[in-house]
A and B are shown apart, each in its own frame.
Chain A
Amino acid sequence: MAEREHDVRELDRVTIRFAGDSGDGSQLAGQQFTNTAAVFGNDISTVPDYPAEIRAPAGSLPGVSSFQVSFSSHQIYTPGDSPDVLVAMNPAALKTNLPDLPKGSLIVINADEFTEANFRKAAYAADPREDGTLDNYRVIEVPITTMNQRALKDSGLPQRQIDRSKNMFALGVMFWLYERPLEPTISWINGKFARNPQVAEANIATLKAGYYFGETAELFPGHFRVPKADLPPGKYRNVTGNEATAMGFLAASQLAKKQLFYASYPITPASDILGELARYKNFGVKTMQAEDELAAIGAAIGAAFGGSLGLTGTSGPGLALKSEAIGLAVMTELPVVIANIQRSGPSTGMPSKTEQADLLQAMFGRNGESPVAIVAPATPADCFQMAIEAFRIATKFMVPTIFLSDGHLGMGSEPWQIPDIDDLPSLEIVPPSNAIGQFDPYRRDESTLARAWAVPGTPGLEHRIGGLEKWDVTGDVSYDSENHDKMTRLRAEKVERIAEDIPDVEVVGETSGELLVLGWGSTYGAILTAVLRAQSDGLPISHAHLRYLNPFPKNLGDVISQFDRVLIPEMNLGQLRMLIRARYLVDADGLNRVTGRPLKIAEVTERIQSLVHRKVSVA
């Protein structure tokens, strides 16, 4: 591509937010930008934000959807607290996103959509470009709709179809502004519209038109370059948490040489996992779209009883519906895995927004004493490893295991260093041998306390299980009081023993000091970034992140005891804090935000400052 001379400024990190009507294709533009940045060699981190409604009325505030991508020349752990650049496809997108924009940010607006009608829909009393609203920002107006129409006037496509391509024009402009190659997107378009070359050509034409517009229009003072990041050597791809989760469960089944059986009822933000796993039929993966959440876990338990890796996935309200059946899996000691991609609650809450408020539900949300194992991935890529861990623990200890992800992890993405298959953990499952004489279904392994996974089809192992209390060893129905006390303790002890089989929690920084910031789940990036900044200012602060929530890693008590104070940031009102306080009798402090959005680095920094009474300089 012949380029004229332009000023090029090198930047360390840029965060762009694409925003528009949910039908405008902002998610797609954002994903393509991400992919291009990732393939180019930047570190990236993304967060989509979209309404629960598929297509709210065009131009309205509830209809705004956005996709934020942060790309950088160094390792980053979050999609950025706030964008440096906003691409606003209409006034509503401007209005809903402006509060997140620091003063001085760049705003690229689609000038064609800034009409009286659209101001009314966005509840703007006057044109925000003229009433001072945007005084503190750098605004660049691009007539995206008409430029796109002009680029495609000879395409032969109907008007509606043409207008749907305007996101590609906007993307082209951004590609020029940040000096990105077009090839990855062109090749994606050609693949996506392989059966419709006319549409493919149109999308490519407008993408290029946007790029050339940036180059020739002189609207921008110059463009920017974000050099490659210095990532650990290896082969990478960009993954969302839900994709990594699906691949992790698939990998578990391959490692265990067991069929994966996934039953799920559609629910935001977990539905992608069903869609992903349904693609793996050639791996023998069976998927079932169940009639409801209860059926989904019932089918997973049935599959586990039959010797498959029984899996179900859901989000908070669905976990509530599954609780009775999880209790059944506790009683029958079957290795079913429940993936809960948490969202804002209670009740239906805010389906497309994230939260971490199901921890106590996962721990205790069942009748009776019914302990389960709980693992929690820390980043989108980590979902892969923790999904394998969920099945490793479930099958080794014969215990239902909850995989506690959330909407931010599931929908967010980051580069994933593709693992070597040979480096993955072993999930070897030894079937019980045919019993000679009496088979006792509740006889336990001495070290793990797991009972044998005796599956139908094995002669001599015929046995009956169920939700009624069991006699120790024989598994017969029992109402004996002392036996019930013993069995209750055995089930609890079995889960406790998992601590012997999981890694210690690692401390980032010194192993003792003034403050330990302890987190779990998707707050990892914000906490780590805030702690690293504080550490570079010489503050005696460390970070530990829990990926195993039940049981806790066995060194956790010792780690905590080495710090004067403990801060636990969570996207809930203090659920991990309650568990830590109860377990270790430590007066932990909390940072608790339930905004439906990822925790911000600045929020963690501010709390750290207030606890240690010192300022942290912002990087």
Chain B
Amino acid sequence: MTTDEGIKLTRKDFVSDQEVRWCPGCGDYSILAQTQKLMPELDIPRENIVFISGIGCNSRLPYYMNTFGFHSIHGRAPTIATGLKASRPDLHVWVITGDGDGLSIGGNHLFHIMRRNVDVTVVLFNNRIYGLTKGQYSPTSELGKVTKTSPVGSIDYPVSPCSFALGVGATFVARSLDIDTHHLITTLERAAHHKGTSFVEVLQNCNVYNDGAYREFADKAVRPDRMIEVDHGKPLIFGKEKDKGIRLKGTVAEVVDLSKGASDADVHIHDEKIEEPITASILSRMDYPDLPVAIGVMRAVDHATYDDLMEQQIQDAQSKDGTPDLAALLNEGDTWVVN
């Protein structure tokens, strides 16, 4: 990306003058850094980029981006983004949300922005806890989670953000990990280029209220054996020795051991383009310890976007009805003259 003067923009050009106020060690820093790093690569003028957020630690992100930004109210970022993108399809719009903001108070709006396929990129920071309000369980907290508001354990079953997105018809669904910066920026880049709603869940550590939420499978030492990167057209193989695969038996995923006689033919080949979201949903629900946790692009299909369809209707009406004439409209129907 270059400016009018032909100077290539860099990450620094997307860093605002605001001091970042997340707790030291928070996973949000990584997501911010990769987002800022990605911006110059998108080749979009800075003034055409808008970050919209709701409420929560994650939702401070727009303040730190030197673009247009709107830190709105709890759960409503998708609504503001929809109004903005539908009225201004020329803009490149991002929604920054979290597990509480997007799946609890704003669950309905997250549902509908994806159902409509509004052309925005949604990044959901999933730390499985309410951080800003100091540590209450969230819709993605595991059953039995002990917090200040659930002293003997939560009794709410958790939701899988990616399954939810797939269930409501999101055309692009991916998951990434805060500490895997290469995977994160690659995933965000693909999301940014997708036409339609792209939904990215980022597994993000809250080192103050839910430290180690993903440690069991995401720590570098164990990650190869407990997580799997899904990649379009490639077999689902994982493990330090690349010796394990995922086989689909009907709607059940299971691990096969390639070192013990299972053949490559047993391993499922990932296809992000298939229209039915069931296979992607199976992948999105794989969970440690029974199965490796999947990251990567689970679904990427092309559907017409809400903003394009809306614009198309306007253009169709204009070519059919001709130049708008306010006076003619006001004088429509039965009229009469009093002299």
Contact = CB atoms under 8 A, between A and B. Distances in A.
Interface in A459-493: 459-468, 476-477
Contacts of A38: 334, 336
B47 interface: yes
Interface stretch (A280-288, A555-563, A582-590): A280-288
Contact of A251 (B18, B81, B87, B326): B326
Interface residues of A, number: 70
A466 B336 contact: no
Contacts of B108: 291-292, 295
Given A291-B112, A298-B72, A459-B45, A238 B334 contact: yes
Contacts of A234: 337-338
Contact of B333 (A237, A304, A460): A237
Interface in A220-248: 231-238, 247
Contacts of B318: 281-282, 284
B313 A281 contact: yes
Contacts of A235: 331, 335-338
A33 B322 CA distance: 33
B114 to A, nearest CB: 11
Contacts of A463: 68-69
B67 interface: yes
| Of B76, B83, B87, most A-chain CB atoms within 10 Å | B83
Nearest to A416: B330
A272 to B, nearest CB: 15
A345 interface: no
Contacts of A283: 324, 326, 329
B86 A456 contact: no
Contact of A281 (B67, B69, B314): B314
B63 interface: yes
A168 to B, nearest CB: 18
Contacts of A39: 334-336
B62 interface: yes
Contact of B16 (A232, A261, A459, A464): A464
A464 B317 contact: no
Contact of B109 (A231, A298, A418, A465): A298
Nearest to A263: B83
B188 interface: no
B246 interface: no
Interface residues of B, number: 64
B96 to A, nearest CB: 12
Contacts of B66: 462
A324 B55 CA distance: 13
A236 B338 contact: yes
B236 interface: no
B336 A462 contact: no
Given A236-B338, A237-B334, A459 B79 contact: no
Interface in A189-241: 231-238
Contacts of B53: 466
A235 B328 CA distance: 13
A294 B76 CA distance: 8
A430 to B, nearest CB: 19
B170 to A, nearest CB: 15
B50 interface: yes
A306 B336 contact: no
A284 B316 CA distance: 11
Contacts of A464: 16, 18, 62-63, 65, 68-71
B90 interface: yes
B2 interface: no
B83 A301 contact: yes
Given A41-B336, A237-B334, A465 B70 contact: yes
A234 B336 CA distance: 8
A266 interface: no
A286 B314 contact: yes
Interface string A410-422: 0000000011010
A305 B52 CA distance: 11
A89 to B, nearest CB: 25
Given A306-B88, A328-B72, 14 more contacts: A232-B338, A259-B87, A261-B83, A261-B86, A282-B314, A283-B326, A286-B314, A288-B310, A298-B76, A301-B72, A324-B73, A464-B70, A464-B71, A465-B71
14 contacts: A235-B335, A237-B333, A263-B83, A281-B316, A282-B314, A282-B322, A286-B86, A298-B76, A298-B80, A298-B82, A303-B88, A305-B83, A418-B335, A462-B67
Interface of A: 35, 38-41, 184, 231-238, 247, 250-251, 254, 259, 261, 263, 280-284, 286, 288, 290-292, 294-308, 310, 324-325, 327-328, 332, 418-419, 421, 456-468, 476-477
Interface of B: 4, 16, 18, 45-50, 52-53, 55, 62-63, 65-73, 76, 78-88, 90-91, 108-109, 111-112, 310, 313-314, 316-318, 320-322, 324, 326-327, 329-339
Ranked nearest first, the 3 interchain pairs of A and B with the lowest CB-CB distance are: A298-B79, A302-B83, A466-B71
